A and B are shown apart, each in its own frame.
Chain A
Amino acid sequence: MKIFSVNIRIINLLLVSVIMSVFGACTPEVDNVFEDSSANRMTKALQVDKEILQSATNGWLMKYYPASDQRYGGYNMLVKFGTDGKATVACDNFDASKTSISNYSLVQSAGPVLSFNEYNEIMHYFSDPVNPDGIGITSEGMLGDLEFTLREVSNQKIVMYGKKTNSRIEMTPLSSDINWTNYLKSIQTAEYNMVGMYSCVAGNITAKVKMSYRSMTMNYIDDKGNNISKNIPYLVTPTGYELYDTLSIGNVKVKALTYNAGNHEFVSDGTGEAKLYGIITPLNQLLTGGFNWYFSYDNLSSFGQPYWDKAANDLYTKEGEVLSYMYLNANIIYFKSGNSVGIYAMTLSPQGDNNIGFKLSGYDGNGQYYYNGGYFQYFLYPFCNTGVTGRSFTLSCDNIENPTVIILTDVSNSNNIIKLTKKPSAPY
C-alpha cells in the first residue's frame, strides 16, 4: 500500500511538472508583421520623404487651396526645400520676383507632417488669423494651414492634406529650365488679360458667372427647371483655369479651361463642349458690382494726399492708431483703424457707363466715432466731399477686359484723381 501511494504521488508530481513545462515552453510571441519597430519605420520614412522633398532641385509647384471649402480659390506656390532645413517660397499672389525663406521640418505626428514652423511672409499669408490684406474675418483670415500631412510621396508627385483643413494639396516638381519669376509672371499676365465676368454655355445650358477671389459662382436653370448655384474654386495657370473639382454642368464635364485671348473665350478640356464668354461690364457697374476696390495714399493725386496726411496724423497722435485698410464694396466703404472696423454707406448715382456720383448716407457706430472724431471727414473728403455734398467722377481703367485699377477723375476738379485697385493694398 505504501509503495502504491508513493507511485501515485510521483506520477502526480511528474504530471504537474510536465504540464508546467509545457506551459512554460509556450512563448506569447507572434511573428512580427513588420520587419522593424514602428518608431524605426517612421524615422526611415521621414528620411526618405525628406530626401524626396529636397530632390526637386528647382523646387515644387504646390497647388494650394487654403480654406477647407476652397472659398478663396487656389494659388500657385513655388517651394524649394533646401538641405539646410530652409524652405524658399514664392507665390503668384505676390510680386513675381519675391521669395521668402524660413525654416521647415518634417515630423512624426499621426503620420509624416511637413511643418512650416518659422514665420514665412508668403506661406503664412494664408494662415494668419488676421490676413494682412483684410481678407476673411479676424481669427480666421484665409483659413490656410501651416502643417501638411504627407499621404503620397514620390519623385513625380506629392499629395498632402492640410492638417486642420484637410484640403488636398498636390505638389509636382518644377523642371530645371523653369525660371520662377518668369513662370509666376506668365500666370499673373494670363490672369490680368482674362476678362472678369463671363457667361458659360455648356450644351443647352447658359449660366451667369461671377468671380470672387479665385472662385466662380455659376447660376443657371437646369433641364428640370431648377435654379442651380455652384461655387467653383480654381487656380490660374499660364494658359487658363484649372478647376479644383471636375465640374458637371448638364451632361458636360469640365476640369480645365483654356483661354483664347483673341476672342476672350475659355474652352473646356476634352471635347470642348463648355465655353466661357467674356462680358465687358460698364465701369460704374463693375465698381459697385460687389468686388472690393482698395484705397491707398499712393493712389491719390496731390489734391487728396494732404487730407489723408492730416487724418493719418490725427489718428496716430490722438488714438495711437494706423489705418490698415479701406475699400469700397458695392455702396459701402469698409475700414479698419487699429483693431476697430467700421463702415460708411454711400448713395450711388450712376450715369451712362462711365460716370458715377457718391454721397455719404450713413455709418455704423465706429464709422460715426471716426467721422465725428475728425479722421474720416478727411479720409473721405477726396471721395465724397463733405459727405452730403458728394462728388461725381468720370471712370477709366487700366484694362477694359479685366480692370484691376479703376481711375476716378472728379468731374468738378480734374486735379482730384483717385485710383482704386482690385488687388488688396494697405493704405500706407
Chain B
Amino acid sequence: MIMKYIKFILIIAATLLIGSCSSEKLDSNSIFPTESPERNAFDTWLLNNYTASYNIAFNYLYKDNDTDQSYNVIPAEKDKSIALAIMIKHVWLEAYLEYCGVNFIKTYSPRVMQLIGSAAYNTNGSMVMGTAEGGLKVMLYNVNAIDIDNPYIDVDNPYVDKTNPTKDLNYYFFHTMHHEFGHILNQKKNYSTDFNLVSAAKYKSTDWINLNDANAPKLGFVSGYASSEASEDFVEIYSIYITHTEACWQKILSDAVNGTDTSGRDAIIAKFNIVKNYFKISWNIDITELRDVILKRFGEVKTLDLRNLK
C-alpha cells in the first residue's frame, strides 16, 4: 500500500517536473558576423602572410579598443603600412624564423600588431615609439613618418638624432620591435634577479628623459631609456645589441669609460653577460648569432619592393 502511494507520488512529481520545463528556442543566428569581410589586396596579403602563417592580426586601420585613448593620435597611411608590413616580415618575423625556427616564432610572436600614424606624446615631452601589452600586442607609432622610397636603417650609430624621426627605421621600428619582443619573452620566462642589482641605485624612473643617449654609457646604461628601470634596461641591452654592429657595441663600451673610471663599462658588461646567458639558457638563442641574421636581413631591405605586394 505504501509503495503504491510512493509510486503515485513519484509519477505526479515527475509529470509536474516535466511539465514545468519550458523550452525556449535558441536563435540559430550568431550575433557575431560569420561571413568573411570584404578584403582588399593588402588585407588578403596580411591574411596569408601574417594571420595564416604566424597567427598575427596586423591592424593597419585604427581600432579604438586596440589603442591607448589617453594619447591624441591619427591612423596610419595605407601605403606606409604596406611598406612597414613588408619590412617587418623580412627583418623581424623571418629573422626569428630563420634562426629560432617556425615553432618559436609561431608560439611567442605577439598576437596583435597595431599601427598608429603619428607619434604618441607624453606630458613630459617624451615620445612613445612602441608598447607591448601582456605578451599579446605590440603597438607601433609614427608610421606616417616612413620614407618608402628611401628606407634607411642605421646599424652603426648608437646615439640616434631623435629630432629627425623620418630617417632611421631601425631606431623607430625594428629596435622597438625587438625591445617589445624582449618584454614578451621576459613575461614568459623570468630572468635572474641578479640583473636588477647591478645598477640598482642608478635607475632614474621618469627622469630618464633628461639623460641623453650619448651620456648614458658612463652611468652604465646603453641608452637614456635603459636608465628608467631594470626591465627596460634588460630589453634595451638585448634590442640595441642585436640591431647594431659589433663596432657600434664597442663604441658604447668605450664611451662608458670616464677617464680611469670604468664603472659604467663594467656595469654594462655585467648586465650584458646576464642577458646573454638568459637567452642561451632560457631560449637557446645565441644573441650574437641572431644579430648576424638580423644585420644580414637589414642589408637586404634596399632590395625589397616596398610599394607592391607579392
User: Which of A9-17, A168-176, A257-265, A403-411 makes up part of the contact surface?
Assistant: A9-17
B149 interfacial contact with A, CB 8 Å: no
Quote the shortest CB–CB distance from A364 to chain B (angstroms): 16
Given A37-B27, A320-B164, check contact A119 B64 (CB 8 Å). Answer: no
Most buried by B among A85, A118, A146, A338: A118
- Which residues of the other chain, A, contact B73 by a CB distance below 8 angstroms? 129
**CB-defined interface of B51-64 with A at 8 Å, one 1/0 digit per residue?**
00000000011111
Given A21-B13, A102-B78, A164-B69, 9 more A-B residue pairs with CB atoms under 8 Å apart are A6-B2, A13-B5, A118-B75, A124-B117, A128-B74, A129-B73, A146-B62, A319-B163, A320-B164
**Which residues in chain A, 87-116, are within 8 Å of chain B measured between CB atoms?**
102-103, 105, 107, 109, 113, 115-116
B140 interfacial contact with A, CB 8 Å: no
Quote the shortest CB–CB distance from A273 to chain B (angstroms): 41
- Which residues of the other chain, A, contact B65 by a CB distance below 8 angstroms? 109
User: Which of A133-141, A221-229, A412-420 makes up part of the contact surface?
Assistant: A133-141
Given A21-B17, A25-B16, check contact A129 B5 (CB 8 Å). Answer: no
Quote the shortest CB–CB distance from B112 to chain A (angstroms): 15
A105 x B167 contact (CB < 8 A)? no
How far, in angstroms, from A58 to B164 measured CA to CA in the complex? 42
How far, in angstroms, from A117 to B118 measured CA to CA in the complex? 13
How far, in angstroms, from A116 to B117 measured CA to CA in the complex? 13
- 27 sample A-B contacts, Cβ–Cβ < 8 Å, listed by A number: A6-B1, A13-B5, A17-B9, A21-B17, A24-B16, A24-B20, A25-B20, A40-B27, A40-B29, A85-B38, A102-B75, A103-B78, A117-B61, A117-B63, A118-B76, A119-B76, A119-B77, A119-B144, A139-B123, A140-B72, A146-B75, A320-B161, A320-B163, A321-B163, A321-B164, A338-B163, A339-B165
A147 interfacial contact with B, CB 8 Å: yes
- Which residues of the other chain, B, contact A115 by a CB distance below 8 angstroms? 62, 64
Q: Which one of A119, A129, A140, A339 contacts B162 once the chains associate, using CB atoms below 8 Å?
A: A339
- Which residues of the other chain, A, contact B27 by a CB distance below 8 angstroms? 37, 40
Quote the shortest CB–CB distance from A84 to chain B (angstroms): 9
Q: Number of A residues whose C-beta is below 8 Å from B?
A: 50
**CB-defined interface of B74-105 with A at 8 Å, one 1/0 digit per residue?**
11111000000000000000000000000000
Using a CB–CB cutoff of 8 Å, the interface residues on chain A facing chain B are: 6, 10, 13-14, 17, 20-21, 24-27, 29, 37, 39-40, 43, 85, 102-103, 105, 107, 109, 113, 115-120, 124, 127-130, 138-141, 143, 146-147, 163-164, 319-321, 337-340
- Which residues of the other chain, B, contact A17 by a CB distance below 8 angstroms? 9, 12-13, 16
- Which residues of the other chain, B, contact A120 by a CB distance below 8 angstroms? 75
B75 x A124 contact (CB < 8 A)? yes
- Which residues of the other chain, A, contact B167 by a CB distance below 8 angstroms? 320
How far, in angstroms, from A138 to B72 measured CA to CA in the complex? 10
A338 x B164 contact (CB < 8 A)? yes
- Which residues of the other chain, B, contact A85 by a CB distance below 8 angstroms? 38
A13 x B64 contact (CB < 8 A)? no
B155 interfacial contact with A, CB 8 Å: no
B75 x A129 contact (CB < 8 A)? no
How far, in angstroms, from A164 to B62 measured CA to CA in the complex? 15
**Which residues in chain B, 20-43, are within 8 Å of chain A measured between CB atoms?**
20, 22, 24, 27, 29, 31, 38
How far, in angstroms, from A267 to B72 measured CA to CA in the complex? 39
Shortest Cβ distance from A339 into B: residue = B163
**CB-defined interface of B108-152 with A at 8 Å, one 1/0 digit per residue?**
000000000111111101000000000000000000100000000
B259 interfacial contact with A, CB 8 Å: no
How far, in angstroms, from A32 to B19 measured CA to CA in the complex? 23
- Which residues of the other chain, A, contact B164 by a CB distance below 8 angstroms? 320-321, 338-339
- Which residues of the other chain, B, contact A27 by a CB distance below 8 angstroms? 20, 22
B197 interfacial contact with A, CB 8 Å: no
- Which residues of the other chain, B, contact A24 by a CB distance below 8 angstroms? 16-17, 20
B72 x A109 contact (CB < 8 A)? no
- Which residues of the other chain, A, contact B123 by a CB distance below 8 angstroms? 139
B283 interfacial contact with A, CB 8 Å: no
How far, in angstroms, from A319 to B167 measured CA to CA in the complex? 12
Given A37-B27, A124-B75, check contact A20 B144 (CB 8 Å). Answer: no
A124 x B121 contact (CB < 8 A)? no
B120 x A129 contact (CB < 8 A)? yes
How far, in angstroms, from A21 to B27 measured CA to CA in the complex? 29
How far, in angstroms, from A319 to B164 measured CA to CA in the complex? 9
Most buried by A among B31, B62, B77, B162: B62
A139 x B12 contact (CB < 8 A)? no
Quote the shortest CB–CB distance from B81 to chain A (angstroms): 9
Q: Which one of B12, B31, B75 contacts A116 once the chains associate, using CB atoms below 8 Å?
A: B75
A13 x B9 contact (CB < 8 A)? yes
Given A127-B74, A146-B75, check contact A118 B31 (CB 8 Å). Answer: no
9 shortest A-B CB distances, which residue pairs? A139-B121, A338-B163, A21-B16, A39-B31, A25-B20, A339-B163, A117-B62, A124-B74, A119-B77
- Which residues of the other chain, B, contact A109 by a CB distance below 8 angstroms? 64-65
- Which residues of the other chain, A, contact B5 by a CB distance below 8 angstroms? 10, 13
A14 x B9 contact (CB < 8 A)? yes
Quote the shortest CB–CB distance from B139 to chain A (angstroms): 15
Quote the shortest CB–CB distance from B299 to chain A (angstroms): 22
Shortest Cβ distance from A3 into B: residue = B1
- Which residues of the other chain, B, contact A143 by a CB distance below 8 angstroms? 72
Q: Which one of A43, A105, A118, A124 contacts B78 once the chains associate, using CB atoms below 8 Å?
A: A118
- Which residues of the other chain, A, contact B144 by a CB distance below 8 angstroms? 119
How far, in angstroms, from A339 to B38 measured CA to CA in the complex? 40
How far, in angstroms, from A147 to B20 measured CA to CA in the complex? 50
B163 x A340 contact (CB < 8 A)? yes
- Which residues of the other chain, A, contact B29 by a CB distance below 8 angstroms? 40
B13 x A129 contact (CB < 8 A)? no
How far, in angstroms, from A119 to B75 measured CA to CA in the complex? 5
Shortest Cβ distance from A14 into B: residue = B9
